Amino acid sequence: MTYDSSFTGIIGVAQEDITPPVGIYARNWGAATHDVAEGVHRPLKLTCIALKEAEQDKPLVLISADLGWWKSAADEKELRGAILEALQLEASHLMFCLSHTHAGPGLFSEDVAKPGGEYIIPYLKYIKDKAILAIQAALSSADISTLSWRYGKCDLATNRDLPEDKGERLLVGFNPDRQADDTLLVGRITNSEGKTTGTIVNYACHPTTLAWDNRLISPDYVGAMRELLEDHTGAPCLFLQGASGELAPSEQYSGDCQLADGYGRQLGYAALGVLEAMYPANYQLKLDQVVESGAPLAVWKKYARVASTQLGLQMMNIPLALKELPSLAEIESQWRECKDHVLKERLWRMRGIRKTVGDGDVSMMPLWVWRVGEACLVGQPNEAYSYFQQQVREALSPNAVAIMNIVNGYAGYLPPRELYAKNMYAVWQTPFASGALEQLTATTIAAAKELMK
């Protein structure tokens, strides 16, 4: 027999618009020549799914927002803490995931003095208010439903660690000689009447289609993907960015919004194909009979099954060793003295990372592992390479596994150990020492296996 990994329980879905005001500070690229957003390509959305075993239970709340990354641990903790307090939730019960668009607004409250920076702090409050509204709406509409999962494939993502011709650097761009993880995971929420009330798309690919030439707020490819699925299903679509550390579209760094929309449709049609292939909720495919004809024919048919009704969770902190880094005071001194705009931006980001991980030589990084019936959801705050999701999927097979980067915070990249000898962005950007990715992977597999027993 075969079946889609599923959970049956009380599930609610809601969505809110979180498009920021035009004019907000939105300089996400050192190569950009502008500071503020001059318009909107597509609206930014915040989508929420709430899950409970029974009516009296505290929910597990999964949120995805069309936002880039956190430059301040304090800003992220303040926003998430306000959400937890408003809903009376434990920290283990909320995963706030960012899509990682590079065409979104600034989220760093310390950028308030920059052009358009006056909008940032009010916008952070706006996100918080919208998140609370979405959770409340999801809980009020929650009903007995089944969340089913199935894997597919999409070749949008390519490897982006490109060896430089006659040089020792690895450039951040399409490497046609390296295979990329093309795994796509799609979830479908079906109510007791058989109606689809929500979908989930978990895919690993940097939303870096739109770059320094783009002056518009945009969810990048996620926007067109979501529009396609929502038009087809009539239900909200929640996107989860996977372990995309070295994955991105082949043609990127563009100002062409049509390119981003095309990528979104590419992913959207792949997701629709997976949805069409899924079994009806609470059904499985079993060998029914053998019919002797010109050949012995195996006839498979759908039969009803009972999905898992179990939720579970683990939240833990992992002590990750840090590289030898300049202190916060040293970084701030270099930043004040620097006259080069690109280098000054890099130092400003390094300052934010140092403040996040602290001035010690070890930083505690959080990990969330949820059991949702026969599937496992894993969230962590950094940009892990696809090794992470591939290893965890293999270890948890045949259970479906959704892996998410940039969940409840952000610090830096997690490249594989062997890449630390390379001259490359992910290695010099990360604050973490060699072996951090492998440590995260081993810890996740052990926790997930225990939870899925």
The residue extents of the domains of the chain are: 2-281+310-322+361-451
241, 201 Cβ separation under 8 angstroms: no
What is the C-alpha to C-alpha distance for residues 272 and 229, in angstroms, rounded to an integer?
Answer: 7
Q: What is the structure's pLDDT at 340?
A: 84
Residue 353: its pLDDT value, please? 84
Give the distance from CA 104 to its chain's centroid.
15
Q: What is the DSSP letter of 24?
A: -
Q: Are strands 169-172 and 161-163 parallel, antiparallel or unpaired?
A: antiparallel
Model pLDDT, residue 271: 98
Give kind and range of the element (H or E) at residue 288: strand 283-292
Which tens digits make up the pLDDT trace of 295-351?
999 999 999 999 999 999 999 999 999 998 888 888 888 888 888 877 877 777 778
pLDDT of the residue at 351: 83
Predicted TM-score of the model (pTM): 0.96
Neighbours of 77 (CB within 10 A): 15
Q: Dihedrals φ, ψ of 109, to 5°?
A: -60, -25
The torsion region of residue 234 among left (phi > 0), alpha (psi -120 to 50) and beta comes to left
Give the pLDDT of residue 292.
97
Give the residue among 106, 110, 133 at the shortest CA–CA distance from 29.
106
pLDDT recorded at residue 58: 97
pLDDT at 349: 79
Nearest to 225 by CA among 275, 158, 159: 275
- Tell me if the bond preceding 398 is cis, omega within 30° of 0: yes
Say if CB 247 and CB 71 are below 8 A apart.
no
CA dist 354 and 72 (Å) reads 10
Other Cβ atoms less than 10 A from the Cβ of 318: the count is 17
pLDDT, residue 160, reads 98
**pLDDT reported for residue 347:** 78
Quick check: 44 and 24 in contact, CB under 8 A? Answer: no
Nearest to 62 by CA among 255, 279, 240: 240
Q: What is the pLDDT of residue 44?
A: 98
- C-alpha–C-alpha distance, residues 118 and 124, integer Å: 11
Three-class secondary structure of residue 72 per DSSP: coil
Q: Which run of H or of E encompasses 368?
A: strand 362-372
Q: What are phi and psi of 13, to 5 degrees?
A: -135, 140
Q: For residues 158 and 206, give the distance between their C-alpha atoms in angstroms, rounded to a whole number.
A: 10
pLDDT of residue 84: 98
Do 197 and 13 contact (CB within 8 A), yes or no?
Answer: yes
Residues of the chain short of pLDDT 50, as ranges, are none
Residue 46 has a pLDDT of 99
Which two tokens mark 267? Answer: 């992913």
Q: Provide the pLDDT for residue 85.
A: 98
> Looking at the DSSP assignment, which residues form a beta bridge with residue 347?
none
